Structure 1
């Protein structure tokens, strides 16, 4: 009851500060830090890459029959883990070896042949999830391998419930927000037990996001793009456990490891820009950045400081769909506030906000595409809105990095092709806003880009 009262007071305070949106002045708001769990970084890495934070998955024999054995072993693992991709672990539960999806699916990515842990995966494809049908294979598994089917049932139950509802308009954007909403709707808030019938109404729209870099978390006082997640970050990190969790006792056991996972994430550092940087031009860019950008995005180097500022929608002017989705989804907020997740020391709580947090820019050069929905392919276009393509595509099979514009090489299109082109006229996919670089000269923008390569 105390936690619910605190959340209610916080939400009321937000409403008072920002008014009713009818012309009242709004200003950036700083997010205060909250205490986080201590943890062991090495143990966190081990748990992420070998742990059983999901107890159910695809039977190993079935997985390797369909997909074959992976030969790259980018994480240099041993045993069966060496034979599956870096986004999966092999765990044994109830005597069955199973392949489970891990956080590395979304939060690691290869760049020019090298795996970068913590880099958001911007090549996942959720654009045709409604076409996925496992019914025949599941029927066969149930008939010929009942023990394996029984072990895999919790995973396939949640997967077949969620995946068809997560379809995006193009490859490369992420549907994690919709996944969380669907999973919550099928879980009792206290026991976390699964319900085949949805207990909450699930919005139809799928709001696209770009996966942010993990190494930014050590600076952030609130998680996610509009900073709504406060309190214990570890509890938010383990939300994917809702895919297969049996009850709150299992969730508690998994939660015990996520202080270590958070410690590992906060130990990550961004990769260094791999090509030569024009030092003189970068120094000029530092001065321009300090004058025009640091107030929101912070300062770097010896004077490293990040302000954790929430920027109202009226100022940032980027696509509001994501922020609106959090604010308007009252059933989700209410579920969370009375759930198992909101219990315990430094319990998590939700503070909706009409806008977005200005992120740290450490390693920004490698995190293309840009804005919270991945609608802008390069930093050059981010700083000059006239260059932003209305319809565009990029090559996911053989991606080419543009070291000049800093981002992905892309192709402009005159008309959109459904499920192929990134269409910025669609709700949630708009590339408007963040016009703060438009007033700079071409020379100043070029200098800022050179400076951003050094972060």
Structure 2
């Protein structure tokens, strides 16, 4: 029983992310009025290369519902926003107790890992379900941080492979499928069977959150949120990966997710995490008033300070390099902070387009997905969520950027040094997934260059959606400028 119970460990929650986009075509040089004059000046200005014009569009702000941060933290870590799960006794038999208790919780929750929560199902059965910390908490340099996106989770396996054996074990343990325990477990089983084969990633450390959302929406009525075993639309097995962004950035954002499709009410978006286990919209309506508290807590999280020594003089040299090359998209920092909330077109940013194209390429699935959120329960009412797909990616805020490796929307670049120098990015690379294996010189993870894909811990940038191209804006910097800029980024 213990062996089989381990097979259904679900370390998956739909994340809050960030993104951007715009309708854009080609670079346009800035016209030089001097070169258009029929008669040159006696002492003409030196000829310079035309300026590259970034194709940008500002994301408008929306009014958000803000509640109590302390209550939001309690609900996130111990609340009942999930409705179905593994009976508590079976979970403890399968995994044993975990007393690390990094969240300092009480009761049953003090005995299980931070990524799970013990709650009472509607029928009174004590169950264990995954919580938001599964994807939105992690360790760096052995320090646990709520709000730091998990970059160690392993989604390279099909979580439904052994769900039949798990179900058999639970049925035997509690006397069959007529038991209250089975009733409390059954929707969790259905959710895992649906998402398991369709959310398998090519490498450890990336997240299939977008795909999880699509699969679960395909199995639910958009208005009642009731589950159907036969999906309304067929979703392919292809998985386009995402990075898990830091929660402390959301306070500056006007749109959620890397492709910026999440607009208007952020609180409604959080309820997407409950689609795995809820019975119908009754549960969604029950937890909706709690979500302003969750947003207040997320807004309260501050970026972590760089924990190692910095060279103050070198950082001062890097500040003007940043202001000259990075402020336009990533914003300014210090006494006067301003974040522009800009969408950057695929033409301008040049990074892997697959994630953005998921939502802008005409298809039956896309039409269903956007309609599901915009015209169903999630999109209606005075506090509706809007999914607006415009293409492209966002230039995120850089608060605490030192802690958020790997980089880009798909985690394809291990260090900031390589973000600033595209020629140094390897095609294949592996890392240890040890939180202390941090590269203080290049700001990111230490890694090994590979000549091919060795195993699931090798990042293969040749796979669709895993590319590390684009963002070549630092390529023209000198080595000295990059070194100074890296030092300045430690201070953000």
When normalised by structure 2's length, the TM-score is: 0.87
Aligned partners of 1:447, 1:232: CA distance in 2, in Å?
39
Determine whether 1:371 maps to 2:400.
no
DSSP 3-state at the match of 2:378: helix
Pick aligned residue for 1:172 from 185, 199, 205: 205
Aligned partners of 2:396, 2:457: CA distance in 1, in Å?
29
Q: Counterpart in 2 of 1:392?
A: 429
Determine whether 1:86 maps to 2:114.
yes
Which deviates more, 195-204 or 365-374? 195-204
Determine whether 1:106 maps to 2:143.
no
State the 1:26 CA deviation: 7.6
Bigger radius of gyration: 2
Determine whether 1:152 maps to 2:185.
yes
Determine whether 1:348 maps to 2:385.
yes
State the 1:100 CA deviation: 1.1
CA RMSD of aligned residues (A): 1.8
Pick aligned residue for 1:39 from 55, 60, 67: 67
Aligned partners of 2:134, 2:169: CA distance in 1, in Å?
27
Q: Counterpart in 1 of 2:236?
A: 203
Determine whether 1:439 maps to 2:476.
yes
Aligned partners of 2:27, 2:305: CA distance in 1, in Å?
44
Answer whether contact 1:18 1:26 (CA < 8 A) is retained: no
In structure 2, relative to structure 1, the CA distance for the partners of 1:346 and 1:92 (3 Å cut) is closer
Which deviates more, 180-189 or 93-102? 93-102
Pick aligned residue for 2:84 from 53, 56, 67: 56
Deviations 1:230-253 (A, max 9, x none): 000011112011111111121111
DSSP 3-state at the match of 1:342: coil
When normalised by structure 1's length, the TM-score is: 0.94
Listed as ranges, the matches of 1:2-401 within 5 Å are 18=23, 27-93=55-121, 94-129=123-158, 132-145=161-174, 146-328=179-361, 329-397=366-434, 399-401=436-438
Where structure 1 has 5 or more consecutive residues not aligned to the other structure, the ranges are 1-13
Where structure 2 has 5 or more consecutive residues not aligned to the other structure, the ranges are 1-19, 29-52
Deviations 1:150-191 (A, max 9, x none): 111111111121122110000000011110000000000000
State the 1:397 CA deviation: 4.7
Matched length = 440
Q: Which has the higher contact order (CA 8 A, sep 6+)?
A: 2
DSSP 3-state at the match of 1:416: coil
DSSP 3-state at the match of 1:438: coil
Answer whether contact 1:393 1:422 (CA < 8 A) is retained: yes
Q: Counterpart in 1 of 2:457?
A: 420
Answer whether contact 2:142 2:436 (CA < 8 A) is retained: no
Which deviates more, 366-375 or 410-419? 410-419
